Amino acid sequence: MQSKKTASRKSETTGRLILEDGSVFQGVSFGFPSSVAGEVVFNTGMTGYPETLTDPSYTGQILVLSFPLIGNYGVPTEKTIANLSQLFESEGVRISGLVVSDYSNQHSHWNSGQSLSHWLNSHRIPALHNIDTRALTKKLREKGTMLGKIEFSKKPIDFYDPNLDNLMEKVSVKKPVNHGTGKIKIALMDCGCKHNIIHSLVNRKVQVTRVPWDYDLNELNFDGLVVSNGPGDPKMCRQSILQIRHTIERDIPVFGICLGHQLMALAVGANTYKLKYGHRSQNQPVIEAGTNKCLVTSQNHGFAVDNNTLPRDWHPWFINLNDGTNEGMRHSSGRFRSVQFHPEAAPGPVDADYLFDEFLEVICS
Q: How far is CA 139 from CA 95, 181, 247, 314, in A?
A: 21, 48, 42, 36
Instruction: Tell me, letter by letter, the H, E, C secondary structure of 292-336.
Output: CCEEEEEEEEEEEECHHHCCCCEEECEEECCCCCECEEEECCCCE
What DSSP character marks residue 234?
A: G
Contact 223, 245 (CB under 8 A): no
Q: Give the DSSP letter string of 28-58.
A: EE-S----EEEEEEEE--SS-HHHHHT-GGG
Q: Which secondary structure element, helix H or strand E, spans residue 226, and what is its range?
A: strand 224-227
CA distance 180 to 199: 9
Q: How far is CA 288 from CA 38, 147, 198, 318, 347, in A?
A: 34, 34, 25, 4, 21
Phi, psi (rounded to 5 degrees) for 333: -75, -20
Contact 81, 219 (CB under 8 A): no
CA distance 89 to 280: 16
Cα dihedral: 145, 146, 149, 150 (round 10): -40
Catalytic option among 129, 195, 331, 342 = 342
Q: How far is CA 41 from CA 10, 32, 98, in A?
A: 30, 20, 10
What DSSP character marks residue 134?
A: H
Catalytic option among 151, 193, 258, 261 = 258
Q: What angle do CA 112, 118, 122 make, to 5 degrees?
A: 115
CA distance 312 to 335: 15
Active site residue 342: yes
Catalytic option among 39, 51, 89, 344 = 344
Query: How do strand 185-190 and strand 177-179 relate by DSSP bridges?
Result: unpaired
Active site residue 258: yes
* Residues with a known catalytic role: 258, 342, 344
